[in-house]
Structure 1
Amino acid sequence: MPNQLPLWIIVVISTLLISLGVILTYQIYSSINNQSWNKKDQNKHNITLMDRCGSILPYWLPLLEGLQNFGQQILPDYPFSLMSIYKKTLMPLVIFYVTHPALAFIIFFVLYYLFVRAKSPIPDRPFIRFNVLQSILLFLINSLLGATFRALPIEFRMSLYGLMLCNTLFWFVLSTITYSVFKSIEGKYAKIPVISQAVRIQIDNQL
């Protein structure tokens, strides 16, 4: 039990630092790009309930990918109550996701075919398209981070610093997805630094 104390200290400190960093980065980025984003937000009245619901669903893909890559390693070290909630809610989905590796690629290509490519068979819904493309980008980032983390020596991954890195990546995944989902519920475009801007650039290039 005493050996777990440094881990808890690092987990708490790293989580606080990540949260502070995300808030500060968001505030700076939002103030710099406020004018360009406001033009798009003025169309909020055109965003229907179906748009909001349809924009939330694609984020299951990066969430399950993040839980597979990072959550399974660090969640057992969290308080038992949180682990119990995880086992009753998300864990069955993660297990299904892990045991069917082709599912992620099938969903990826279906989303790309239906919403992202220029000649999509689905009527153009800019809000859904933005969130689908952003969820795909988050999925790819999570996959890359997960592959990079797994490529590290197992001695490092199981060490205190490895768990700290895993915890940091896990909270990055969870915070970006949670933020994007809340923005979708509000009917607003998410403003994740770099990621959301890359999505906008991709959409503009296809017009």
Structure 2
Amino acid sequence: MLKSFLILILATSITIIISLAIISLYRLFNYSLRDKQNIGTDPDSVSIIDRCGSILPYWLPLLEGLQNFGQQILPDYPFSLMSLYKQTLMPFVIVYVTNPTWAFLIFFILYYLFVRAKSPIRNRPFMRFNVIQAILLFLINSLLGATFRALPIEFRMSLYGLMLCNTLFWFVLLTIFYSVIKSIEGRYAKIPVISQAVKIQIDNRS
């Protein structure tokens, strides 16, 4: 139990340090750019419908991340947190795991509506940005999960494997939580690399 607790503290500390370093570098290279050059927008111009609609797609990468990493490391967290997880998110994860075709169906529906060149919904740029970003986070989580499961089980159950799993788990939670908060505020999220890739995708499809 003490070993697991130390692993959690160490992994969380490393994740926070890495996140702060990435954010600092990102701000350093983009400090001189104006908000409108960084996909900025006036929050007052974003409707409630766009804000609520922008939050929903993030369920996809969240459930994927919980399936890939949360199921393995959450039992090592304090019992109160695990109990909260069982009462809130775990039922959704179970449905997600037992019905994998739903995830791909939702993925293709979102792709058809927002991503493809001749998408029927093109006049809601804020929703489109968040949908594409959620899809990109979903794909990244799927790739990271598949890569992690491909590692030898001896490594996955070792100290370094658990540290890696914790880091990936917190990466999932922090990026999604940050994106949801920005959606509620009516502002575009600025996740290093990921948000820039979304902007390039939107510019190429415009």
CA contact (8 A) 2:41 2:188 kept: no
Alpha-carbon shift at residue 69 of structure 1 (Å)? 0.3
CA distance in 1, matches of 2:203, 2:32: 17
Q: 2:13 aligns with which of 16, 24, 29?
A: 16
Q: Does 1:7 align with 2:1?
A: no
2:77 equivalent in structure 1: 78
Instruction: Give the count of matched residue pairs.
Output: 204
CA contact (8 A) 1:134 1:196 kept: yes
Instruction: Tell me the TM-score normalised to structure 2 length.
Output: 0.94
CA distance in 2, matches of 1:37, 1:19: 27
2:23 equivalent in structure 1: 26
CA contact (8 A) 1:62 1:135 kept: yes
SS of corresponding position for 2:119: coil
Give the letter for the 2:130 counterpart.
N
How do 1:48-197 residues align onto structure 2 when only pairs under 5 Å count?
48-197=47-196
CA contact (8 A) 1:56 1:181 kept: yes
Give unmatched runs, 5+ long, in structure 1: none
SS of corresponding position for 1:198: helix
CA distance in 1, matches of 2:46, 2:32: 20
Which shows bigger deviation, 11-20 or 184-193?
11-20
Alpha-carbon shift at residue 123 of structure 1 (Å)? 4.5
Runs of 4+ more than 3 Å apart = 34-37
Q: Identity over aligned residues, as a percent?
A: 70
CA distance in 1, matches of 2:16, 2:105: 33
CA distance in 2, matches of 1:141, 1:65: 10
C-alpha spacing 1:100/1:79, structure 2 compared with 1 (3 Å): same
Alpha-carbon shift at residue 120 of structure 1 (Å)? 1.4
Alpha-carbon shift at residue 18 of structure 1 (Å)? 1.0
SS of corresponding position for 1:41: coil
CA distance in 2, matches of 1:108, 1:185: 22
Give the letter for the 1:41 counterpart.
G
Alpha-carbon shift at residue 16 of structure 1 (Å)? 1.7
Instruction: Tell me the TM-score normalised to structure 1 length.
Output: 0.94
RMSD: 1.4
SS of corresponding position for 1:59: helix
